[in-house]
Structure 1
Amino acid sequence: MLADAHAHLLPRDYPTGAPECFPRMEAIDGESARMLLFGATRFRAKDAFFDAERRIEEQAASGVDFEVLSPMPPLLKYDLPVADGLALARHVNEFTATLCASDPARFAGLGMVPLQDPEIAAAELAPMKEAGLRGVEVASNILGASIGHERFLPFFAEAERLGMAVFVHAMPSATDRLPMSTMGTYVVGLEGALAAASIITGGIAAKCPDLRVSFSHAAGGFGLMVPRAQYFWGGTWNEEPAIPERAPAHDDGPSPLEYARRFYYDSMVFDVRAVRYLVELLGADRLLVGSDFPAMPREEPAGRTLRMAGLPESDLDAVLWDNAFRFLGIDPPR
């Protein structure tokens, strides 16, 4: 059994009379795909993005039994006026809930919120849960502000209170230190690491201990950053017992690695050696299958690299199936 915890959708259409700043999905002559037009974004969306039957066919073709569906990241456009951002989120969330309700044994949905206004975003979580959504997708930065900034704490606290899962998707931010051609590669890796680190350093991990949060693409370079933070917290190598007098960053709370082991990470890291490292550092109970489908093609079959990692059967079952449902806050179906 395999559950893909990082897969995306797009609504097939948007309401007639929607604000000018809304996306458009235009028909493509002779094709079932549609063209997403949203600001500078021009994206050909295959029909699996918005058609449940086609998604199920694609699942069967690649060996997937369940998908956690979240909005395609370009929809997380936080520079919209708040009222328009809220209207867009509600439309996308309604579509997501409807698609997932068509086959709850195969789909669970994550919604979106206008996080440019954290109070309005927090207030949307309860209606989303009532509509059947299991959580919410947010970007790694909100108009350049780290997702771990203290002003987003009320939003995360409400997600924790409601038991809503939070999926942090790496989104490029403006930088002049790398060329634009690296926005989808190196910059996404940097963004993932910054997002996970900021959840710890901004105090959200400490103040929301029961928050279930996952990061796309294993939070980029975070897995290699956090052992260094651990050294400055504990004053020792290899996670040996802390020696506080050697550690300028020591405090009495959980260590950086203890915080990191509360998070979930999708295992879309493209290399079996990276998978083994993440399992050893963070634990097999922290990793999820991820594919970015249908924006990116899945491995064939799905989970091939995970199965190459030589994990014990119980660990492999956890990564392929159980952890996705633990992240969502529900018992894994059998």
Structure 2
Amino acid sequence: MLVDAHAHLLPRDYPEDAPECFPRMEAIDGDTARMLLFGAVRFRARDVFFEAERRLEAQDASGVDMEVLTPMPPLLRYDLPAADGLSLARHVNEFTATLCAHDPLRFTGFGMVPLQDPDAAAAELSAMKDAGLRGVEIASNIAGSSIGEEKFLGFFAEAERLDFPIFVHAMPSPTDRLPASAMGTYVVGLEGALAAASLITGGTAAKCPDLRISFSHAAGGFPLMVPRHQYFWSGVWNEETPVPERAVAHDDGPSPMDYARRFYYDTMVFDARALRYLVDLLGPDRLLVGSDFPAMPREEPAGKTLRSLGLPEDTLADITWHNAFRFLGIDPPR
């Protein structure tokens, strides 16, 4: 069995009386695709984004048994007025629930919230869960603010209370450090790393120990950065024990590596060597298959590189599907 825990959808349409700031999906002559128009975004969305039967055909073609569907990241617009952001989230969430109801064994949906208003975002989680959604997707930064900032702690605490998992998708933030051409490559890697690190250094991971949270693209450069944090916590290389007296900033709580191994990470890192490192450093119980489909093409078949590593069968089963159900907090199908 294989669960794709990082796949995206787009609603087919938006209300005719929607606010001016809402997205639009325009028909394309002679094509089943539609054009997403949202601010500066111009994106041709194939029908597999919004047609359930086309998604099922694509799953079967790639050897995927179930998808965890999250809104296409450009919909996570935290610059909108909070009331409009809430209206947009509710429309997208309703569409997601409807699409997933077409085949609940093959589709599991995550919604979105207006995190520009953390209180409103937290209040919306219960309604999303009642509507059958299984979790919530957020961006790696909220209009440039770190997700580890204190003002977002109530949102994470409410998700933990509701046993509602969170998927963090790397998204660019305002920057002049890299050219625009790097937005889909290096900036995404940096953003994932900053998001994961901020939850540890900002205290959210400590204050929400039972929160289930996953990161797109293995949280970018974070897995290479956390051993340095571990060294500054313990003062030793290679996680040696016992912790010596010369620890730089040691405390009696969990180590940075302990926190990192509470998170989940999708395996869309494009290289078998990187996958081996993730398995070794973070553990095979922390990894999920992800593809970014249909924004990006899947490997054919899905999980091809993962299966090339020669992992034990039980380890491979953890990564391809057991971990996904643990992250979701639901029992796998018989």
Per the normalisation by structure 2, the TM-score is 0.99
Cα deviation, residue 119, structure 1: 0.2
Amino acid at match of 1:30: G
Equivalent in the alignment of 1:258: 258
Report 1:77-226 matches (<5 A). 77-226=77-226
Unmatched 5+ stretches in structure 1: none
Q: Give CA deviations for 1:296-333 in whole Å, capped at 9, x if unaligned.
A: 00001100000011111101001001111111101122
Equivalent in the alignment of 1:281: 281
Equivalent in the alignment of 1:326: 326
Aligned-CA RMSD value: 0.7
Secondary structure, in 3 states, of the residue corresponding to 1:265? strand
Equivalent in the alignment of 1:15: 15
d(CA) in 2 for partners of 1:236 and 1:145?
32
Cα deviation, residue 176, structure 1: 1.4
Amino acid at match of 1:172: P
Q: Give CA deviations for 1:251-284 in whole Å, capped at 9, x if unaligned.
A: 1110000000000000000001111110010110
Equivalent in the alignment of 1:35: 35
Per the normalisation by structure 1, the TM-score is 0.99
d(CA) in 2 for partners of 1:244 and 1:147?
32
d(CA) in 2 for partners of 1:157 and 1:242?
33
CA pair 244-154 structure 1, distance change in 2 beyond 3 A: farther
Cα deviation, residue 244, structure 1: 4.7
Matched-pair contact (CA < 8 Å) for 1:100–1:109: yes
Equivalent in the alignment of 1:236: 236
Matched-pair contact (CA < 8 Å) for 1:244–1:250: no
Matched-pair contact (CA < 8 Å) for 1:149–1:198: yes
d(CA) in 1 for partners of 2:82 and 2:190?
28
Displacement over 4 Å in runs of 4+ = none
Amino acid at match of 2:21: C
d(CA) in 2 for partners of 1:3 and 1:149?
32
Cα deviation, residue 245, structure 1: 2.8
Cα deviation, residue 242, structure 1: 4.7
Percent identity, aligned pairs only, is: 80
d(CA) in 2 for partners of 1:152 and 1:85?
16
d(CA) in 2 for partners of 1:102 and 1:177?
44
Matched-pair contact (CA < 8 Å) for 1:235–1:242: no
Q: Give CA deviations for 1:203-254 in whole Å, capped at 9, x if unaligned.
A: 1100000000000000000000000000010111001125353222211110
Equivalent in the alignment of 1:50: 50
Equivalent in the alignment of 1:292: 292
Amino acid at match of 2:296: M
Q: Give CA deviations for 1:91-124 in whole Å, capped at 9, x if unaligned.
A: 0000000100110000100000000000000000
Equivalent in the alignment of 1:60: 60
Secondary structure, in 3 states, of the residue corresponding to 2:20? coil
Q: Give CA deviations for 1:130-175 in whole Å, capped at 9, x if unaligned.
A: 0000000000000100111111000000000001010000001122
Equivalent in the alignment of 1:6: 6
Unmatched 5+ stretches in structure 2: none
- Count of aligned positions: 334
